[in-house]
Structure formats: structure tokens, C-alpha cells
Amino acid sequence: MHNYDSKNIDLSGKTILVTGAGDGIGRVAALHYAQAGATVILLGRTTRKLEAVYDEIMAAGGPEPAIVPLDMKGATKTHYQGLNATIIEQFGKLDGLLNNASLLGVLSPFETIDSDSWNDLMQVNVTAQFLLTQALMPALKKAPHASIIFTSSGVGRRGRAFWGPYAVSKFATEGLAQVMADEYEDSSIRVNVINPGATRTSMRARAYPGEDPMRLKTASELMPLYLYLMSDASIEVNGESLDAQ
């Protein structure tokens, strides 16, 4: 694992939106950002899970988070533009955006990929991230230094049998991040990608049902990179695709 020094990272005064904040890596990232002093906006599709994260942050004495229950499968540009307006009104700016929510879909041979599940997965993993990120640009531009993180995967760099639409969606994620990083190179906005690597979450358990989860890294162990990329320590880092493990 790389040695990203996250011990003294201070995110106080920053507002950070995390998608898929109710479970898995997104949940743990939201808790760590709050612990480092950030006001976290928790976006996800299951309100009960978001409320549990809210409670955990409050119990730990962190800044009061905001909850945005939203299913990114059906959300439109209008929803995201409304969110941008609310963020500017309530917080004045957005310092960080962690695009983390994703669907795994069904791993299957190429010839049995169902076109409806293909479209649903592309909608959540690619189109919704594009729409959300585009709509939040005004709020991100109001921050002195804003960090956008996209989440990829090993199969987003080298395709593998049966990973079909999920792998394709992660290549698209890497592509969108590269385009944006180049376009915003001389601006206050930086765009990078994290590949978490095999991590003990329910998504990983669905992909590898026979695997012993205790042999995998926990989401907490990935946090040095997640914290570093949201902090001012990484202001000069742009257009990188980094491994958390």
C-alpha cells in the first residue's frame, strides 16, 4: 500500500458530497471525512442507511451532515441542478465530490447480457455520474480548491471475461475523469480516480460468493488515499488513477 500520510489531515470548513454513502466504501469514507472535520452530504438510495450514517457522525461529535435520498437510476438533470442550488444556498460551495455509488449488475457471459440491465448499469455508473458532476460544477467552482474523485476498478483498466457492463462502465469512468482532468487542468478543480482494489463489502461478496471476506482489506484500510485526495495536500494532483491498495 502507498504511504499517503493521512494522520494530520484537516478537512474542517470543507463540504464534501459522497454518493453511495449508506454502505460499503462510501459509508466509511463519509465517516472519515466527518471525523477530519468536513460537513458531509450523504447521497444514496436507502434513507434508513443514510440516517444510520448521520447518527454515527453525530454520535462521534462530527459536523452535522446533510442527507440526500436519491436513486441515481431515475434521477434527472433537474434533481441534480436542484441539489447544486441547495448546496450553494446552505454551504456556499462544494469542496469535494466522491463519485462512489455503483451497481455491480450480474456477471455473465457476453451472449447472455440482458440489454435492460446493461442500460440500468450504464445509467447509474456512467450517465448519472456525468449528470451529477456537471450539475455540481457551479458549487465546485465556488471552492478555492475543489477535488472530484471517481471510482474505478481493476476491470476498468483491463477487461475480464464475464465482467461485461460493469467493466465497460469503469472504462467510461476512467475516460470521463481523463477528459475532465485535462479540461480543468488550469483551474481550481482537480479530477482523479481511485481504484479501491478488493475490499470487504457486500458488492465484493456478490462478485466472489465463495471467497473468505476476512482475507480482504476493509474499507477503513483504504482511507489514507481517500482522505489525501480530498485534502489540500493533493492540490497539485490532477488526472491520476491511483490504487488505494
Among 26, 62, 65, 96, binds ligand NDP (CB under 6 A): 26
CA distance 186 to 179: 13
In the range 146-205, which residues lie near ligand NDP by CB under 6 A? 151, 153, 196, 198-199, 201-204
Q: CB of 53 within 8 A of CB of 31?
A: yes
CA distance 150 to 145: 17
Which grid coordinates belong to 80? 441534480
Each residue 72-91 as x (binds ligand NDP by CB under 6 A) or -, in order, gives xx------------------
Each residue 203-222 as x (binds ligand NDP by CB under 6 A) or -, in order, gives xx------------------
Question: Cβ of residue 188: shortest distance to ligand NDP, in angstroms?
Answer: 25
CA distance 230 to 226: 7
Give the residue closest to ligand NDP by C-beta.
24
Burial state string for 182-216 with b = 16 or more CB within 10 A and e = fewer than 16: eebeeeebbbbbbbbbbbbbebbeebeeeeeeeeb
Among 16, 18, 38, 45, binds ligand NDP (CB under 6 A): 45
Nearest to 18 by CA among 43, 50, 48: 43
Active-site annotation holder among 166, 184, 226, 228 = 166
Question: Cβ of residue 186: shortest distance to ligand NDP, in angstroms?
Answer: 29
The one-letter code for the residue type at 8 is N
Judged by CB, which is closer to ligand NDP: 20, or 96?
A: 20
Q: Strand (E) positions, 45-134?
A: 66-69, 96-99
Instruction: Note if 80 is an active site residue.
Output: no
Judged by CB, which is closer to ligand NDP: 191, or 203?
A: 203
The one-letter code for the residue type at 108 is S
Under rule CB under 6 A, residue 17 binds ligand NDP:
no
Q: Please identify every residue annotated as catalytic.
A: 166
List residues near ligand NDP by CB under 6 A: 20, 22-26, 44-46, 49, 71-73, 100-103, 124, 151, 153, 196, 198-199, 201-204
